[in-house]
């Protein structure tokens, strides 16, 4: 990151306070000289353990845990006491730990959050703080904040309204900003906007930590979020604000309302769109086709699906198609059937994809009539890509594209194994949650997870290094293209539509470089830096190594 003023208001932390600060603590790794100078003598066992030995102990204890939620709690406890060691372990074991600190296990963690809560992390801003949000923000102990992830907990993954129990999502997302893109953990701030919950079970649970009232809505809610946006942008003027897991009724309108005036984006809409577009571009290269040769049928027409459609249209327009013609490549099926012209009750976002076609009630009929080359599931309804659907896609296409993007795993439209089984192995498959490799005809196929973690850390890194004043759709287009370009011939031969997760830091750097250059082209960069090479960006990333404190 570009150098800023110090990130901690207290510069003389010593003794027990030093050991209790997870950003600074090295546990048992302090040298004899540090123990004397920092008032630690006697507060630690005398044996000095290197970070490598600490990692060995950590790996041994972690390996004994069998339940993924137990692993989540164990890693959260480590993060609460020693962030440097936490990130060293996460970054060296990213493939194994990402499903624990992020989807799908973070979904289970949020469902149980009130019971596994150990130590507060981030800021909780309650509806009762309305009128004094700026004061609450001032309580955050660090002045330099580069990335904020904020949620109101209304639509956590595919699990619904979890209220303040949804705080696990911003915490998990920011852990990936550090692990995948090198944003220093001290510059990350998770925020919960607690405006109540419609979940009566939570409201009546004495362990629930949030406001035990029905959700605030309407004018009061809008005024609350407006106040937050104004206050947070003044308190942390350099910060990127990522909206996460807001309800469908609010996600799109807040994006439209704020994106031109604040440095913000919505990952559920724009991040999902970019990672999906990247997967489609890779699938097109495998088929030796252009995106303009695809007909994409979405199961689900919420903010995520419509966001994907909008980015696809933008890509096609950039490739020379007329906008109206570009929209005809995207069809949407929602709870009331196929979206077609003349259907009553369509909102403005859905109406632009209402094409000339008679009404169709079932998804199976829509496939038989439209004969799509790709189906994309984004409705959080499990098992809708069943055997008849997958059989039909394989009958229509030599290499059907099937993206089952809903998560967590319990909400997936189909499993990877089902996709291969019912298409006789011809499928080009991606999922929202991780699935194990599939053995088919003597070959092991690596399953591609269309994970937003491929996109949002690189976007955030690019915004941080460029100082871009806002986040544009063109940046997400560049991110999608960079991600697709990162897929090698070897990856494709293994069945991948995305690069291996172990390479995600390099992917994030490539995306950040593209975003920085885009910010320059759009005259949005504000820090005077013009060198956004991958080498330059890589040189400034956070590295989880203990440093001398003398």
* Residue 322, domain CATH: 3.40.50.720
446 located within any domain: yes
Say whether both 254 and 341 belong to one domain.
no
394 located within any domain: yes
Domain end residue (candidates: 405, 432, 450): 450
CA 498 to CA 282: how far, in whole Å? 8
In this structure, the strands spanning 147-151 and 188-194 are parallel
DSSP β-bridge partners for residue 438: 445
337 located within any domain: yes
Residues sharing a CB contact under 8 Å with residue 192, sequence separation 6 or more, in sequence order: 122, 123, 124, 125, 150, 151, 152, 153, 164, 166, 167, 170, 210
Residue whose token pair is 């293994």? 494
Say whether both 344 and 403 belong to one domain.
yes
Residue whose token pair is 């209402």? 354
Q: Which of 349, 345, 340, 339 is nearest to 313 (CA)?
A: 349
User: What confidence score (pLDDT) does residue 470 get?
Assistant: 96
In the predicted model, residues of the chain with pLDDT beneath 50 are 5-10
Say whether both 197 and 295 belong to one domain.
no
CA 189 to CA 170: how far, in whole Å? 8
In this structure, the strands spanning 374-377 and 337-338 are unpaired
34 located within any domain: no
- Give the Å distances, CA to CA, from 381 to 30, 295, 374: 51, 22, 18
Say whether both 290 and 422 belong to one domain.
yes
CA 331 to CA 368: how far, in whole Å? 13
Domain end residue (candidates: 450, 469, 486): 450
Q: Which of 52, 16, 14 is nearest to 545 (CA)?
A: 52
Domain end residue (candidates: 450, 470, 497): 450
Say whether both 385 and 446 belong to one domain.
yes
Residues in the chain: 550
CA 137 to CA 514: how far, in whole Å? 32
Q: Which of 30, 72, 102, 262 is catalytic?
A: 102
Q: Residue 530 belongs to what domain range? A: 454-538
Is 258 considered catalytic here?
A: no
Is 350 considered catalytic here?
A: no
User: What confidence score (pLDDT) does residue 529 get?
Assistant: 76
28 located within any domain: no
DSSP secondary structure letter of residue 214 = P
Does the reported pTM lie above 0.85? yes
Say whether both 147 and 255 belong to one domain.
yes
DSSP β-bridge partners for residue 430: 403, 448
Residue 453: half-sphere exposure toward Cβ, Cα within 13 Å: 35
CA 428 to CA 181: how far, in whole Å? 28
3-state helix, strand and coil shares in percent for the chain, rounded to the nearest 5: 50, 10, 40
Say whether both 459 and 393 belong to one domain.
no
Say whether both 467 and 527 belong to one domain.
yes
In this structure, the strands spanning 428-431 and 330-334 are unpaired
Total domains in the chain come to: 3
User: What confidence score (pLDDT) does residue 6 get?
Assistant: 47
Phi and psi at residue 41, to the nearest 5°: -60, 125
8 located within any domain: no
Say whether both 437 and 459 belong to one domain.
no
Q: What is the CA radius of gyration of the chain?
A: 24
User: What confidence score (pLDDT) does residue 433 get?
Assistant: 86
425 located within any domain: yes
CA 474 to CA 268: how far, in whole Å? 17
Q: Which of 26, 71, 173, 314 is catalytic?
A: 173
């Amino acid at each position: 990151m570009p150098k800023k003023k110090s990130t901690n208001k207290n510069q003389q932390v010593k003794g027990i306070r030093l050991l209790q600060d997870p950003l600074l603590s090295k546990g048992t790794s302090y040298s004899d000289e540090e123990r004397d100078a920092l008032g630690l003598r006697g507060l630690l066992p005398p044996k000095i353990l290197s970070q490598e030995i600490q990692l060995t102990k950590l790996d041994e204890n972690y390996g004994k845990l069998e339940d993924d939620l137990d692993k989540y709690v164990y890693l959260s406890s480590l993060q609460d006491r020693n962030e440097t060691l936490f990130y060293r372990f996460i970054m060296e074991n990213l493939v194994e730990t990402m499903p624990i600190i992020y989807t799908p296990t973070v979904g289970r963690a949020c469902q149980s959050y009130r019971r596994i809560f150990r130590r507060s992390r981030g800021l909780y801003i309650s509806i009762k703080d309305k009128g004094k949000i700026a004061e609450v923000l001032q309580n955050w102990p660090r002045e330099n904040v580069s990335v904020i992830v904020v949620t109101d907990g209304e639509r956590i993954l595919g699990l619904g309204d979890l209220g303040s129990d949804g705080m696990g999502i911003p915490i998990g997302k920011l852990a990936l900003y550090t692990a995948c893109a090198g944003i220093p953990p001290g510059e990350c701030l998770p925020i919960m906007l607690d405006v109540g919950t419609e979940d009566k079970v939570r409201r009546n649970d004495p362990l629930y930590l949030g406001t035990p009232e029905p959700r605030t809505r309407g004018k009061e809610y809008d005024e609350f979020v407006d106040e937050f946006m104004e206050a947070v942008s003044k308190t942390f003027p350099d910060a990127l604000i990522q909206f996460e897991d807001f309800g469908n009724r609010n996600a799109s309108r807040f994006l439209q309302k704020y994106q031109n005036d604040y440095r913000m984006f919505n990952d559920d809409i724009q991040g999902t769109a970019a990672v999906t577009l990247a997967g489609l571009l890779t699938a097109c290269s495998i088929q030796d086709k252009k995106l303009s040769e695809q007909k994409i049928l979405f199961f689900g027409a919420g903010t995520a699906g419509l966001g994907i459609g909008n980015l696809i249209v933008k890509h096609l327009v950039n490739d020379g198609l007329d906008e109206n013609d570009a929209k005809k490549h995207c069809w949407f099926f929602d709870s009331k059937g196929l979206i077609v012209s003349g259907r009553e009750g369509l909102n403005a976002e859905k109406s632009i994809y209402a094409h000339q076609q008679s009404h169709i009630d079932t998804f199976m009929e829509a496939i038989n009539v439209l004969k799509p080359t790709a189906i994309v599931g984004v409705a959080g309804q499990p098992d809708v890509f069943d055997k008849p659907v997958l059989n039909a896609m394989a009958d229509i296409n030599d290499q059907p594209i099937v993206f089952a993007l809903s998560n967590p795993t319990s909400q997936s439209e189909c499993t990877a194994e089902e996709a291969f089984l019912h298409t006789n192995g011809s499928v080009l498959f991606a999922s929202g949650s991780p699935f194990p490799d599939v053995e088919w005809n003597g070959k092991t196929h690596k399953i591609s997870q269309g994970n937003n973690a491929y996109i949002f850390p690189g976007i955030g890194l690019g915004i941080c290094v460029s100082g871009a004043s806002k986040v544009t759709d063109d940046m997400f287009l560049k991110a999608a293209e960079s991600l697709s370009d990162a897929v090698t011939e070897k990856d494709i031969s293994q069945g991948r539509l995305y690069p291996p997760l172990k390479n995600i830091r390099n992917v994030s750097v490539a995306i950040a470089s593209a975003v920085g250059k885009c910010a320059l082209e759009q005259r949005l960069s504000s820090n005077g830096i013009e060198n956004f090479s991958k080498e330059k960006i890589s040189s400034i990333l956070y590295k989880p190594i203990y440093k001398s404190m003398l």
